[in-house]
């Protein structure tokens, strides 16, 4: 039993063959990361409610939905109804994180909070023991294939310290630029839930890529 999880990010999959790509990783991990973008909070668009609803019919994987959008409150019910298992919102996009966490949980979902690399890490600390997952973005959100930012390690360490001090078992997640090298760096800094897009679906064999990433942490 390992003490960490890997969540392939569907953003890097072939959107013409979504279920083929999901099936390629299904037996290798239970977690699937789904990026939702609005063109406002981030400079890009991606998948939304109908895609989540459609793929829900064909897999029992845990849907970790990353909401990169303003007004996340508005989308809790639609994504809950579509079959999400966890909703992770951005701290920059709400005035009342605690109320949003309560709303997400009231729908029977797990709640995550995420922080943009430009936001001081202190902002998220008061909430780390109130959620199921804390996502420290390790790239500027909006695009796959970016490079892991150097500032990430110290930010991960700060959240790790806060979680440990508060005795929280919440996942410490990282997202962006995770590959065979950076996964170990992030693990050593205290991350335990690794979102990886390009490193998984950019590979000819996505299932094997998940195993290779796992091996980089444990060896």
Ranges of beta strands (E only) in 48-140 are 62-68, 86-90, 110-115, 133-137
Residue with tokens 């709303």: 103
Radius of gyration of the chain (CA): 16
What token pair was written down for 37?
Answer: 């973008």
Residue choice 11, 67, 133, 170 for contact with ligand DX5 (CB under 6 A): 11
Asked if 38 is an active-site residue, the reply is no
> N- to C-terminal Cα distance for the chain?
14
Element holding 67 (H helix, E strand)? strand 62-68
Question: Is 178 near ligand DX5 (CB under 6 A)?
Answer: yes
63 and 56 Cβ atoms separated by less than 8 Å: yes
Binding residues for Zn ion restricted to 88-117, rule: CB under 5 A: none
Q: Does 9 bind ligand DX5 (CB under 6 A)?
A: yes
Size of the site for ligand DX5 (CB under 6 A): 22
User: Applying CB under 6 A, does 190 fall inside the site for ligand DX5?
Assistant: no
C-alpha 128/C-alpha 136 separation (Å) is 11
Select from Zn ion, ligand DX5, none the partner in contact with residue 146, using the beta carbon and a kind-dependent cut-off of 5 to 8 Å: ligand DX5
Answer yes or no: are the C-beta atoms of 84 and 55 closer than 8 Å. Answer: no
Q: Please, what is the minimum distance in Å from the beta carbon of residue 139 to ligand DX5?
A: 6
Comparing every residue's Cβ against ligand DX5, the nearest one is: 197
Footprint on residues 143-162 left by ligand DX5 (CB under 6 A)? 143-146
Site string for Zn ion, 13-52 (x = CB under 5 A): ----------------------x-----------------
Of residues 35, 38, 85, 153, which has the active-site annotation? 35
Tokens of 42: 């981030």
- CB-based contact 27:60 (threshold 8 Å): no
Binding mask 74-93 for ligand DX5 (x = CB under 6 A): --------------------
Q: Does 97 help bind ligand DX5 (rule: CB under 6 A)?
A: no
């Amino acid at each position: 039993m390992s003490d960490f999880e890997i969540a392939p990010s569907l953003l890097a999959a072939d959107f013409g063959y979504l279920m083929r790509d999901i099936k390629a990783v299904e037996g290798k991990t239970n977690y699937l990361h789904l990026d939702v973008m609005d063109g406002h909070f981030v400079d890009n668009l991606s998948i939304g409610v109908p895609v989540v609803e459609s793929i829900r019919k064909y897999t029992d994987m845990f849907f970790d939905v990353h909401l990169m959008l303003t007004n996340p409150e508005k989308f809790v019910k639609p994504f809950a109804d579509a079959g999400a298992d966890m909703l992770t919102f951005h701290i920059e996009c709400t005035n009342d994180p605690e109320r949003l966490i309560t709303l997400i949980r009231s729908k029977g979902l797990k709640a995550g909070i995420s922080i943009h690399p430009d936001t001081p890490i202190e902002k998220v600390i008061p909430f780390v023991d109130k959620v199921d997952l804390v996502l420290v973005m390790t790239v500027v959100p909006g695009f796959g294939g970016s490079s892991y930012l150097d500032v990430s390690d110290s930010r991960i360490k700060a959240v790790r310290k806060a979680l440990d001090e508060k005795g929280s078992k919440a996942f410490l997640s990282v997202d962006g630029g995770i590959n065979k090298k950076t996964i170990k760096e992030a693990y050593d800094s205290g991350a335990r839930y690794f979102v990886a897009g390009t490193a998984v679906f950019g590979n000819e064999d996505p299932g094997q890529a998940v195993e290779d990433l796992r091996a980089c942490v444990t060896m």
